Amino acid sequence: ILNVEQSPQSLHVQEGDSTNFTCSFPSSNFYALHWYRWETAKSPEALFVMTLNGDEKKKGRISATLNTKEGYSYLYIKGSQPEDSATYLCALLGSARQLTFGSGTQLTVLP
């Protein structure tokens, strides 16, 4: 069973602030790491699929890094906007292509 932890559990930032949160895992026995964005009353939407060995991805103001050696992935949001408010989920992809999710970081961006 894959183990994945996310921190912090929740976060409030002001509009325009940059922020980041962490996904950590004790073992690198997985195939890929996924980040999802989950808005209230909607379904999770894929942000990034991180392959192993120091991958970095960027989409607009959001970027992610993966360090399998140290056992963490960071998600960064530059210049947060109210529409960035959501829960951000990290998930590890196992050998049968099944996902194991962390409990998420709930981000609130205050105008």
Partner 1 sequence: NAGVTQTPKFQVLKTGQSMTLQCAQDMNHEYMSWYRQDPGMGLRLIHYSVGAGITDQGEVPNGYNVSRSTTEDFPLRLLSAAPSQTSVYFCASDSDGQGYGYTFGSGTRLTVV
Whether the upstream peptide bond of residue 8 has omega within 30° of 0, thus cis, is yes
- Site membership for partner 1, residue 48 (CB under 8 A): yes
Q: Quick one: which segment of 15-23, 39-47, 53-61, 63-71 binds partner 1 (CB under 8 A)?
A: 39-47
- Site membership for partner 1, residue 30 (CB under 8 A): no
Tell me if 72 sits within 8 A of 23, measured CB to CB.
yes
Nearer to partner 1, 72 or 101 (CB): 101
Classify strands 105-110 and 10-14 as parallel, antiparallel or unpaired. Answer: parallel
- Angle CA 53–87–77, to nearest 5: 60
Q: Quick one: which segment of 15-23, 59-67, 70-78, 102-110 binds partner 1 (CB under 8 A)?
A: 102-110
- Site membership for partner 1, residue 18 (CB under 8 A): no
DSSP classification of residue 78: S
Nearer to partner 1, 21 or 36 (CB): 36
Q: Which two tokens stand for residue 106?
A: 């709930």
CA atoms within 13 A on the CB side of 74: 12
Report the residue from 60, 69, 83, 96 that binds partner 1 according to the rule CB under 8 A.
96
Binding positions for partner 1, rule: CB under 8 A: 1, 31-32, 34, 36, 42-49, 51, 89, 91, 93, 96-104
